[in-house]
Amino acid sequence: MAKQGFFRLAAVLGVSVTMAGMAQAGETAAANPLLAKWTGPYQGVPAFDKVKVEHFKPAFEAAMAEQRAEIAKLTANPAAPSFDNTIAGLERAGRTFTRVYNVYGIWSSTLSTPDFQAVEQEMEPKLAAFQDETNQNAPLFARIAAVYETRDRSKLTPEQKRLTWVYYTGFVRAGARLDATTKARLSEINQRLATLFATFSQNVLADEDSATFLEKESDLAGMPASYISAAAAQATERGKKGQYAVVNTRSSMEPFLTYASRRDLRETVWKTYFSRGDHGDAHDNNKIITEILKLRAERAKLLGYATHAHWRVENQMAKTPERAMALMESVWKPAVARVHEEVADMQKIADQEGQGVTIAPWDYRYYAEKVRKAKYDLDQNEIKPYLQLEKLREGMFFVAGQLFGFQFQQVTGVPIAQPDVRVYEVKDAAGAHVGLWYFDPYARAGKQSGAWMNEYRTQERFDGNVTTIVSNNSNFVKAAPGEPVLISWTDARTLFHEFGHALHGLSSNVTYPTLAGTNVARDYVEFPSQLLEHWLETPEVLNTYAVNVAGQPIPKALVDKLEKAARFNQGFATVEYLASALVDMKLHLAGATPIDPDAFERDTLTALGMPKEIVMRHRTPQFGHVFSSDGYSAGYYSYLWADTLSADAWTAFTEAGGPYDKAVAKRLRDNVFSAGNTVDPADAYVAFRGREAGTRALMAERGFPTN
């Protein structure tokens, strides 16, 4: 998941910034590391070693004051609006605010302590109001509109035209043309939503900070030794020495459900994980979701859209919810049919065991592994010893070198926010500095679950030749001292996926930061990352980087089994994901209809014919993609849309000289990874591929009928 940044501008209409106010901001900057320009090597780096939670609020107040002054100066310009004095002026504004917000985002996702959560609760509505101040600034929008509509747009470069269009449409979609009363109500909604988003995230995090403690090693029967050792270390870290902790995160839950032979404990772990945010207690999210949906529906109406889904999808590749639904529905039926086949295979094995087991959701992964063993003689426990986290990281670096010419070298002396974080300098093939890559791989209290990419600093050539700083974040369970972290094949794919987002940011080569890196349509941003997953399974990676602790590469016989089983369990993987995507879209197509989240989820899945043996990948009360921000709301379909592109794009390599074909890689770099949002994503894809993508490659890749 790519976490796209805060809208770069926020200003206030009619606010006069006094010199005294600016002096106060200046005095704060002298003592507040968040307000200082980043200094040190690599064009400056965040001063993580100096930042404290109490710095955030005064830093935001000072940065907002500074940005208000910048916008006030821009709108007071007596000269006729032009690209240089308006659009370029907006690109220059808010630099301090952007730096503060980016560090704030890092704290929110990786260091969310109780004192920081209190700051979030206070600041989130204020930040939403601040963003609305810009969107509702009538003189500012008048200048943007004048540039957008002027007859001399022919004098602008294609990138300048695109930037002007992005600003103009962004302001219109945010309510710039509404009357004063409607603008005021819109801002009230956005502020309330910001508070609800923060509370939703904090509720899920509270449940994720828990663990299921097991008292005896025999409770982990069936688990690999590496997992047992890590579970013991986690229990010790949590004050339960001598016990074993199954941490309430996906990277800990999934292996347990896959291998643990104790069915009752699988059920316990499953229920603990999939009931996050749904306990009817102080951290329950159902009422919050109901209010979020109600406010989103009202906001959409104020903005002139039928539903929140129509507003969100309008500026994506799909353009309409109907097109997104059509794609999902075309895949849903064959995926469900495949699930029924998978369940039948599993039930056969369960019946043979004679324990009276009827496959339930907490059995699916466990019996799927038995089927995999029976059909393909493939046991994932055979694979795991060859999937060392650090060796796979080296494999990712190899792929980046082959496709992009990037070289990675770990560096020291760069401040980090947490001791587990490592920093790598990235150089191009000629040895020139490209950027920095921060790696934060381990789960811990206060860190949200899952995996994601952050962009600390965006590439640009506008305000100097500024290089990128990105991070990849995961939640692997740290191994016992001296032991390697072994991960699953699924986690290895996720690792490559998130690295694809990082390469998208590092490859950026545009002029204006608003158009740079991953600042693209939501259903396009997942395309580069999903495409990169394919390189994990290439012989060049597996033969060199999939090695065990003795340095022995994964055996060819095991690789052959992996290839034969490549489409195994695709029914489960597709339905688990699509159920979440369909519920997300249907929730937001419901408009103003009052929603009981649990009932809506249950009734919608029943109507869809959801197999009873599977649950949504992200149940509604814990669906952070959708309810911790507007980010992926009515947009979780994006992964399938992007996978349509990635499956088709992969065939461009397989039809040419193979995965590392230089000519295809160059087209991919030039038209996709480096282009940012300087061109329409549909045009960018055609420029790379020579045609639009169809669904044939997607269906074939998943083993579904292609007719």
CATH of the domain at 591: 1.10.1370.10
pLDDT(523) > 50: yes
Same domain, residue pair 45 and 130: yes
Q: Report pLDDT for 24.
A: 38
Tell whether 198 is covered by a domain: yes
- What is the pTM for the complete model shown? 0.91
How is residue 306 annotated by DSSP?
S
**Sequence-ordered alpha helix ranges (H) in 51-157:** 56-75, 88-92, 95-110, 114-135, 138-149
pLDDT(521) > 60: yes
Read off the pLDDT of each residue in 15-42 and give the average, rounded to a whole number.
63
* Distant-in-sequence, close-in-space partners of 448: CB < 8 Å, separation ≥ 6: 109, 110, 112, 201, 204, 205, 208, 624
How is residue 657 annotated by DSSP?
T
Q: Report pLDDT for 446.
A: 93
Same domain, residue pair 451 and 513: yes
* CATH number for 476: 1.10.1370.40
Q: Cα separation of 376 and 565, whole Å?
A: 6
Q: Cα separation of 9 and 71, whole Å?
A: 9
Tell whether 508 is covered by a domain: yes
pLDDT(132) > 80: yes
Q: Cα separation of 476 and 330, whole Å?
A: 34
Query: DSSP readout, 56-80?
Result: HHHHHHHHHHHHHHHHHHHHT--SP
655 is catalytic: no
Tell whether 161 is covered by a domain: yes
Same domain, residue pair 403 and 522: yes
Among the listed residues 623, 637, 621, the one whose alpha carbon sits nearest the alpha carbon of residue 288: 621
Q: Cα separation of 500 and 516, whole Å?
A: 15
Q: Give the range among 13-27, 139-153, 466-480, 553-567 with minimum mean pLDDT.
A: 13-27
User: pLDDT tens for residues 671-688?
Assistant: 999 999 999 999 999 999
Catalytic residue among 498, 533, 601, 701: 498
Same domain, residue pair 193 and 216: no
Tell whether 33 is covered by a domain: yes
Length of the chain: 707
Tell whether 295 is covered by a domain: no
Task: With beta carbons less than 8 A apart as the criterion, state whether 186 and 295 touch.
Answer: no
pLDDT band at 30 (very low <50, low <70, confident <90, very high): low
Phi-psi region of 284 (alpha: psi -120 to 50; beta: other; left: phi over 0): beta
pLDDT(265) > 70: yes
Residue whose token pair is 């790379």: 688
How is residue 84 annotated by DSSP?
I
Q: Cα separation of 144 and 403, whole Å?
A: 39
For residue 401, the enclosing domain spans: 385-553
Tell whether 9 is covered by a domain: yes
Same domain, residue pair 166 and 50: yes
Same domain, residue pair 531 and 591: no
Read off the pLDDT of each residue in 413-438 and give the average, rounded to a whole number.
97
Q: Cα separation of 486 and 522, whole Å?
A: 32
How is residue 82 annotated by DSSP?
-
| Tokens found for residue 283 | 């951290």
End residue of a domain, out of 205, 230, 258: 205
Per the model's pLDDT, the better-predicted residue between 5 and 537 turns out to be 537
Same domain, residue pair 506 and 416: yes
Task: With beta carbons less than 8 A apart as the criterion, state whether 283 and 275 touch.
Answer: no
Q: Report pLDDT for 480.
A: 86
End residue of a domain, out of 553, 587, 615: 553
Same domain, residue pair 415 and 511: yes
Q: Report pLDDT for 151.
A: 63
| Tokens found for residue 222 | 């069936």
Same domain, residue pair 184 and 39: yes
Give Cα separations from 518 to 45, 163, 321, 400, 521 (angstroms): 20, 15, 22, 17, 8
pLDDT(28) > 90: no
pLDDT(12) > 80: no
Tell whether 279 is covered by a domain: no
Same domain, residue pair 141 and 181: yes
| Tokens found for residue 552 | 């022995």
Query: DSSP readout, 190-251?
Result: HHHHHHHHHHHHHHHHHHHT-EEEESSGGGGTT--HHHHHHHHHHHHHTT-TTSEEEESSHH
How many folded domains does the chain comprise? 4
pLDDT(327) > 70: yes
End residue of a domain, out of 152, 173, 205: 205
pLDDT(300) > 60: yes
Q: Report pLDDT for 691.
A: 96
Tell whether 285 is covered by a domain: no
Same domain, residue pair 371 and 393: no
Same domain, residue pair 409 and 493: yes
